[in-house]
Structure 1
Amino acid sequence: MLLEDQSQIESGSLSFQDSGLYGMFIGVYDGHGGRETSRYVNDNLFQNLKRLTSEQQSMSVDDIQRVFRATEEGFLSIVARQWTVKPQLAAVGSCCLVGVISNGILYIVNVGASHAVLGRAVKATREVIAIQLSTEHNASIKSASR
């Protein structure tokens, strides 16, 4: 059975060439109603980030918003092109929880209904404790998106 959810971890250079942007990218994509959207995000979001940081040679909140917008527009163009053959593509979606560390700055992006949770290791017991970072998990609720 095909899984709807996707994830990825990328470490090292966040861009092409020698822009000096090094860091880490972690993405978790929760599929809704099918795997098409989460698979598309998995295949394209990080690539869009690399392309943009290569062009800009920097990273900001605005840049990350542009990356998400470009990824969304890319999937919507596929839906529009394949509407007559695969109308079910219009009914699938994905929530995204993404973390990017670049130049000592941590960016967290929560799009859709994703939980933001931090895992903390306890040395004495060697267990990992989950610390909830958001009280709500649906980004459409204003208090969860702050």
Structure 2
Amino acid sequence: MATAPRFWRQNPSRYNMVGIRCNSCGRNFFPPRAICPVCHRKSVGKMEPVKFKGEGKIYSFTEVHEGLDEKASMRPYWVAMVELDEGPKVTGQVIDCDACDLEIGTRVRAVLRKLSEEGPAGVIHYGYKFVPVKGK
């Protein structure tokens, strides 16, 4: 169960796809981190937040038939590694499509959707999922 402070700290990356850019090497990362894994110490003080567009292409994907009980009504569902246009690779569920619509290189965009709920009266967690971009 997430505590309220932790829940709100995660909002920028979860709701707005805010990552981090290393101004030493120019690489972007998601989720945000304090130090660049490429530049190491040279990046200290040179990291800045960056909001990603949330658009990219499918780098890899899989169809899930067995999984968490709370997702039983969704089965099968698809999870993809998406390479964002700005560089980072992120993992997320792909929705509003059929398996035949997906292939490596399919353009997708992030949309805000319900991820989970903590009990019947608990906090509802929202975050990004991906939908195929039609006509691209």
TM-score bracket, normalised by the shorter chain, equals under 0.3
Q: TM-score, normalised by structure 1?
A: 0.24
Question: Which structure carries more helix by proportion?
Answer: 1
Question: Which structure carries more strand by proportion?
Answer: 2
